[in-house]
Amino acid sequence: MTTLIKGGTVVSATGADPAEVLIDGEQIVAVLQPGSTLADSAETGAERVIDATGKYVIPGGVDCHTHMELPFGGTFASDDFENGTKAAAWGGTTTIVDFAVQSFGQQVQESLDTWFAKAEGNCAIDYGFHMIVGDVNEASLKAMDVLVNEGITSFKLFMAYPGVFLSDDRQILLAMQQAASNGGMIMMHAENGIAIDLLAEQAVERGETAPINHGYVRRAELESEATHRAIQLAKVGASPLYIVHLSASEALEQVAIARGKGANVFAETCPQYLYLNLEDHLGAPGFAGAGYVCSTPLRSKHEHHHEDLWTGLRTNDLSVVATDHCPFCMKDQKDLGVDDFRAIPNGIGGVEHRMDLIYQGVVQGEISLPRWVELCATTPARMFGLYPQKGTIQPGADADIVLYDPEATWSISVDNHHMNMDYSAYEGFEVQGRVDTVLSRGKVIIENQSYLGAKGDGRYLRRGLSQYLL
Ligand code: DUC
Ligand code: ZN
Ligand code: ZN
């Protein structure tokens, strides 16, 4: 089947120009100048023509940080791979990289097999995996080498969650040395979990059990300290470093200093840290703040985190926007912590709304149109070994393409989202711009506000090494 997408403006990380995109089967075969002889003959020959007049034609979004079905605090993230990837597709994301989890005491390869089994045959869009190494030991260090050859080329470590996922500095350095030798990327959850757990314990002893205390005890200094420590350890270990879900100005400052001195350090932020805050959201009346409990936490609106993060996105001290999609329902999940914020499962669902929320940055003049594509598709693909198969519209790339209507207006609500959540963290947000049509490897999966894909359309992506290695 050949398809021509005509009449639209193709947006890439480097610019936006009128162009026509010719697809043959699952791949893009040509990007043509409108009105050229080649474009005219492509139109005559194409079996299907999609009219993109008035639309942006962008590479499908790449969300490199999701947690479908993540076991957390005695429950599981409420989106499974089937529903979560469908919700992603609705929002213009055509690739996810999810986190397989090695918990303490488990073997890396067995844990990975569990994640393969969860995803296989269920996904609406293509997917890859990072590996959370929750128990760094001799066997897991060796397994990292094997995984790199199987297309899992990035490894998340935690400086938070003592007794669950936390790696100490010795373990972190060992894993960094291993990554330095096998070409892997170290991803870091940078919060000082030992200090946080002490502050949390003291808060509960004082009777401060409401959701907002989750934000008070996870202090910005403790994100900044861990970020600094991770950067220094990465220098010693000679490995690249990618800081996940950065939320605080102070942590960004550490990244900026290191990058300014030439360190091979990168950071991602997430929409919740650009739009939501501690007082209004985590501190919402009653127990509603539980819906905003995630780690790193939302930061105070009385400081300048949002502005600083937008600046970081412009200057490239923040290179990627991902979601950390980790949804839990209020009922029977978030409410596990009704008497103690420590028992609230950590996470916010957002896989469906990343492209729209970051597009608001274009509307509001925070970032340029090409930068939107770069942050949400191109750089994550390059960072995690998926480029140029994903993240770009060019001959040879997978035909993962989104037609985006820049003029549509609508508001986000639990009533219109597709994630398995009984609330929306962005309820009532007025949005300009909307996903119109989504193609995944040449197949139209969203059109006319309908989902046309099928469970199992999505394939496993064996990833290469990051393009950001030195
Ligand atoms: N943070 C979250 O909010 N949820 C899952 C894990 C994490 O690090
Ligand atoms: Zn994390
Ligand atoms: Zn995460």
DSSP-assigned beta bridge partners for residue 451: 446
pLDDT in tens, 348-391: 999 999 999 999 999 999 999 999 999 999 999 999 999 999 99
| Residue 241: strand, helix, or coil | strand
Q: For ligand 1, what atom is nearest to the CA of residue 348?
A: 3
pLDDT in tens, 399-430: 999 999 999 999 999 999 999 999 999 999 99
67 lines ligand 1 (CB under 6 A): yes
344 lines ligand 1 (CB under 6 A): no
Q: Interior CA angle at 95 toward 92 and 98, to 5°?
A: 125
Q: What does the buried/exposed string (b/e) look like for 223-258 if buried means 16 or more CB atoms within 10 Å of the residue's CB? A: bbbbbbbbbebbbebebbbbbbbbbbbbbbbbbbeb
Q: Is the peptide bond before 388 cis (omega within 30 degrees of 0)?
A: yes
- CA–centroid distance for 90 within its chain: 15
3-state percent helix, strand, coil for the chain, nearest multiple of 5: 35, 25, 40
Mean pLDDT, residues 65-70: 98
What is the whole-number distance in angstroms between the Cα of residue 295 and the centre of ligand 2? Answer: 6
What is the whole-number distance in angstroms between the Cα of residue 245 and the centre of ligand 1? Answer: 9
- Tokens linked to 424: 């929306």
Correct CATH for 60-383 of 3.40.50.970, 3.40.50.1000, 1.10.3720.10, 3.20.20.140? 3.20.20.140
* Among the bound ligands, the one closest to the CA of 70: 1
When computed from its CA atoms, the radius of gyration of the chain, rounded to whole angstroms, is 21
272 lines ligand 1 (CB under 6 A): no
Q: What is the DSSP letter of 60?
A: P
pLDDT in tens, 192-245: 999 999 999 999 999 999 999 999 999 999 999 999 999 999 999 999 999 999
346 lines ligand 1 (CB under 6 A): yes
249 lines ligand 1 (CB under 6 A): no
Q: Given ligand 1 and candidates 65, 72, 247, which is best to mutate, with the most ligand atoms within 8 Å of its CB?
A: 72
Mean pLDDT, residues 93-122: 97
- Residue 133: the pLDDT is 98
Distance from C-alpha of 389 to C-alpha of 124, rounded to nearest angstrom = 17
What is the whole-number distance in angstroms between the Cα of residue 13 and the centre of ligand 1? Answer: 29
296 lines ligand 1 (CB under 6 A): no
Give the residue extent of every domain in the chain: 60-383
- Cα separations in angstroms, 58 against 10, 53, 371, 394, 399: 6, 13, 12, 11, 10
DSSP-assigned beta bridge partners for residue 52: none
pTM check: above 0.75? yes
294 lines ligand 1 (CB under 6 A): yes
Residues whose CB is under 5 A from ligand 3 (ion)?
A: 324
